[in-house]
């Protein structure tokens, strides 16, 4: 469940010297593909967990966030993604920070069932962190059920297309605080003006969201889809709780908790609890905008 539809049926130091962004982006795509192939071969519990950071976080429907590689492995063993076939996933967008240390991928999860048509079972966002050994590993991932694949429009680029911000030298903590401040301001606008206006205003021009029949691609598409979500219809507010950032000062992610208040189909008051992942990129004008965002339900207000 995407955050928008809730209730509406490292420690510092300067920029590290690392691989070029182009090379890092290629290697991130290779890691995403290798994780998919390993899961198809060995099953989701083993194949997926082998690519997780030790402190990884996984957001799944109806649970508080699963924290730590072992907790995720235990959950996947009891709730395999395989569903009687070979699980695979394919990103439609993947990108990295300017210093090549932080990245993300967005795409479709499927299950190949022998003798049957490939079944679409979900969509995902994963934030990746480059490890000390040079390997990309998943730092946090959100996975939601779906019945149709993400299908980008003609001309869509799988890489970021917006001009980047000027290079800076900041601590990772300082960069993350900038992204968290943007996330809090994003929520404040949702409280004041409604989630529809906020999700439009804070979207990067080339942002990608998991929701919709084929996914949403670009700020204009998001504006059209979110127009019905007025303040009168839904009061959605949230707060970031954890995250990470690149020391190059241009990419970060936040993970947090949200509360959606509105009315159900019978007009009765309804409150829903949500956890979410947002990936943020600093724009050429110095502002932070989300490039992708997704979430799913939580059992209560704690967490994520």
Assess contact for 157 and 200: CB atoms under 8 A. no
Structure confidence at residue 130 (pLDDT): 97
CA atoms in the 13 A half-sphere facing the CB of 147: 1
Gap between the Cα atoms of 245 and 181, Å rounded: 13
Residues 101 and 206 in one domain: no
Residues 193 and 219 in one domain: yes
Residue 153 lies in a domain: no
Residue 188 lies in a domain: yes
Residue 241 lies in a domain: yes
Structure confidence at residue 7 (pLDDT): 36
Residues 32 and 134 in one domain: yes
Structure confidence at residue 3 (pLDDT): 58
Q: Record the tokens describing residue 182, joined without a space.
A: 């943007």
Structure confidence at residue 120 (pLDDT): 82
Residues 140 and 186 in one domain: no
Residues 26 and 118 in one domain: yes
Contacts of residues 109-117 at CB distance under 8 Å and 24 or more positions apart, as own/partner, are 109/81, 109/143, 109/146, 110/149, 111/81, 111/82, 111/83, 111/84, 111/85, 111/86, 111/87, 112/40, 112/85, 112/86, 112/88, 113/84, 113/85, 114/85, 116/85
Assess contact for 277 and 298: CB atoms under 8 A. no
Structure confidence at residue 19 (pLDDT): 61
Spell out, as residue ranges, where the chain has pLDDT lower than 70: 1-19, 115-117
Residue 302 lies in a domain: no
Residue 251 lies in a domain: yes
Gap between the Cα atoms of 221 and 186, Å rounded: 19
Residue with tokens 């420690």: 11
Assess contact for 3 and 222: CB atoms under 8 A. no
CATH number at residue 56: 3.10.450.50
Helix (H) or strand (E) holding 217: strand 216-217
Residues 218 and 263 in one domain: yes
Q: Which domain holds residue 234?
A: 8-14+162-297
Gap between the Cα atoms of 302 and 304, Å rounded: 6
Residues 166 and 282 in one domain: yes
Gap between the Cα atoms of 84 and 210, Å rounded: 24
Residue 154 lies in a domain: no
Sheet with 251-263: list strands edge to edge: 216-217, 203-209, 288-297, 269-282, 251-263, 234-245
Helix (H) or strand (E) holding 103: strand 102-112
Structure confidence at residue 2 (pLDDT): 52
Residues 237 and 293 in one domain: yes
Beta bridge partners of 256: 240, 276
Beta bridge partners of 138: 52, 128
Residues 271 and 186 in one domain: yes
Number of folded domains that form the chain: 2
Q: Record the tokens describing residue 201, joined without a space.
A: 């205003």
Residues 177 and 67 in one domain: no
Assess contact for 294 and 3: CB atoms under 8 A. yes
Residue 259 lies in a domain: yes
Q: Record the tokens describing residue 278, joined without a space.
A: 């947002």
Helix (H) or strand (E) holding 210: none
Residue 74 lies in a domain: yes
Residues 131 and 185 in one domain: no
């Amino acid at each position: 469940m995407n955050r928008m539809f809730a209730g509406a049926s490292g420690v510092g130091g300067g920029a590290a010297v690392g691989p070029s962004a182009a090379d890092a982006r290629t290697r991130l795509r290779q890691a995403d593909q290798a994780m998919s192939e390993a899961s198809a071969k060995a099953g989701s519990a083993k194949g997926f967990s082998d690519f997780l950071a030790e402190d990884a976080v996984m957001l799944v429907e109806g649970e508080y966030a699963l924290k730590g590689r072992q907790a995720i492995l235990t959950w996947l063993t009891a709730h395999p993604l395989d569903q009687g076939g070979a699980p695979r996933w394919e990103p439609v967008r993947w990108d990295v920070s300017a210093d090549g240390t932080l990245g993300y991928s967005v795409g479709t999860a499927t299950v190949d069932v022998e003798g049957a048509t490939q079944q679409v079972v979900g969509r995902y966002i994963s934030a990746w962190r480059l490890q000390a050994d040079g390997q990309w590993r998943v730092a946090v991932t959100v996975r939601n059920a779906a019945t149709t694949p993400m299908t980008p429009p003609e001309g869509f680029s799988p890489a970021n297309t917006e001009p980047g911000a000027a290079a800076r030298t900041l601590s990772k903590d300082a960069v993350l605080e900038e992204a968290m401040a943007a996330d809090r301001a994003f929520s404040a606008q949702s409280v004041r003006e409604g989630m529809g206006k906020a999700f439009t205003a804070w979207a990067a021009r080339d942002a990608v969201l998991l929701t919709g029949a084929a996914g949403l691609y670009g700020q204009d598409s998001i504006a059209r889809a979110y127009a019905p979500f007025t303040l009168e219809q839904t009061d959605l507010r949230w707060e970031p709780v954890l995250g990470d950032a690149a020391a190059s000062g241009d990419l970060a992610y936040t993970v947090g908790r949200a509360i959606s208040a509105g009315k159900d189909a019978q007009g009765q008051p309804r409150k829903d609890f949500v956890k979410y992942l947002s990936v943020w990129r600093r724009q050429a004008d110095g502002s932070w905008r989300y490039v992708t965002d997704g979430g799913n339900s939580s059992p209560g207000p704690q967490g994520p």
